[in-house]
Amino acid sequence: MYDSDLKATWADGRYELPPLPYADTALQPLASAETLYLHHEKHHAAYVAGANAALETLLLVNEGRLSPSLAPAATQELVFNLSGHILHTLYWGNLCAQPQAGPGPAVAAAICESYGSFDAFERLFVAVALTVKGSGWGVLGVDPVSRRLMVIGIHSHHEVLLPGFRPLLVCDVWEHAYYLSWRNDRRGYLNAFMRQIDWNVVEQRFTKVCCHEY
């Protein structure tokens, strides 16, 4: 079942760019209005366009109107761009204008079970996201085998991603996410990110995973 974040990302046989759930000035100091505009309207939109282009190529191959030799490259393009589209949508959804005190009861309990304390989790999450080489993501999700929380670093949008892994909280560490506002201070950006997480959304995602709905 789609997470509620993803329902607005597909319509009439095409991937669509969902609108931001807040004003372009809402995430300061994490992201300036200029950063937010470029990130959403240019970078995220480019992944949507790329996913649609790859999907169109694969449909034409399937109809016999293009050579099957084009399918492998189109498949890779679809995986890359669609992964970027999904992760960006989850990223916008787990941020909020008003900082919250901390995670809800279910996520807080799961964090304590997996990491001992929220502070220990935060240190690990920042450390993993800080050391993703080049472009990628820091992600808190649910291990499909143990059903415990797991922090991973994703390279690009789709590399080093566990099959069946369910993301609950994602942080974009591609330079376009922070460079205009933070220059090369990724740690400063990550510390600001931790203060603007919408823990209500993370709690809802976790509940859906536990109920096998996500």
Per-residue pLDDT averaged across 44-67, rounded?
Answer: 98
Report the side by side order of strands in the sheet with 166-172.
Answer: 149-155, 136-142, 166-172
- Tell me the residue range of the domain where 166 lies: 105-210
- Domain harbouring 206, CATH code: 3.55.40.20
**The predicted structure's pLDDT at residue 90:** 98
Q: Which residues pair with 95 in a beta bridge?
A: 197
Q: How many domains does the chain have?
A: 1
115 found inside a domain: yes
93 found inside a domain: no
pLDDT digits (tens, 9 = 90+) for 8-23: 999 999 999 999 999 9
199 found inside a domain: yes
pLDDT digits (tens, 9 = 90+) for 92-121: 999 999 888 899 999 999 999 999 999 999
| pLDDT at 179 > cutoff 70 | yes
- Please give the mean pLDDT across all residues of the chain: 95
Q: What is the pTM of this model?
A: 0.95
Residue pointed to by tokens 């994602």: 170
